[in-house]
Amino acid sequence: MALWKEPNAAVPPSKEPAGRAPEMSTITPLNQDLPRRMPERADAKESLIASDLTIEGKIEGAGHVRIAGSFKGDVHVHGNLTIDPGARLTGQVRANTVVVGGELHGNIEAATRVELLATGVVSGDVKAGSLIVSAGSRMRGQVEFGWEEKGAKPISGAVSGKVDSAFS
């Protein structure tokens, strides 16, 4: 028995009762190149703005949001925000985890974690507990990460500075 998953190996059938979807913790992703994700609550729902939609307004509430199209307005959620490659968001963002694969024109405020994928573009300031930047991503703005909200005491290894670069 192998201790690793082969890239073309099939996922073993679930032992869940018929008509019920398997829990996310029982599914092993076969593509290891997917963005790293924080563990999510099983009861959290995800809302999707499809790739052929353009919406203007404001998003507030609990749950996860995935933008594959175009959205103009602020997004304030108690959950995760994912901006897919090819998507565009213009507005201010407050979310637990923000994954940017498309374009974000606005600030990210008080996120626990921000991840810029290789296709990600951010034009605005970022304040986060942690920041993951993939090679090929682009950003123009100021970045603060690793700082606690109350008292502004640095967490070990904290760095603060201004980022104004474009990688091609």
pLDDT tens per residue across span 90-104: 999 999 999 999 999
What are the angstrom distances between the C-alpha of 75 and each of 21, 63, 105, 166? 29, 12, 12, 25
Share of the chain above pLDDT 70, in %: 61
Instruction: Give residues with Cβ within 8 angstroms of 101, minimum separation 6.
Output: 35, 82, 83, 84, 85, 87, 117, 119, 120
| pLDDT tens profile 7-17 | 555 545 545 45
Q: How many angstroms separate the Cα of 98 from the Cα of each of 60, 83, 110? A: 15, 8, 10
Question: What does the angle CA 89 – CA 118 – CA 125 come to, to the nearest 5 degrees?
Answer: 45
3 confidence band (pLDDT: 50, 70, 90): low
| Residue spans per domain, the chain | 43-165
Cα distance between residue 138 and residue 26, in whole Å: 35
Give the long-range contacts of residues 3-8, CB within 8 A, separation 24 or more: 5/30
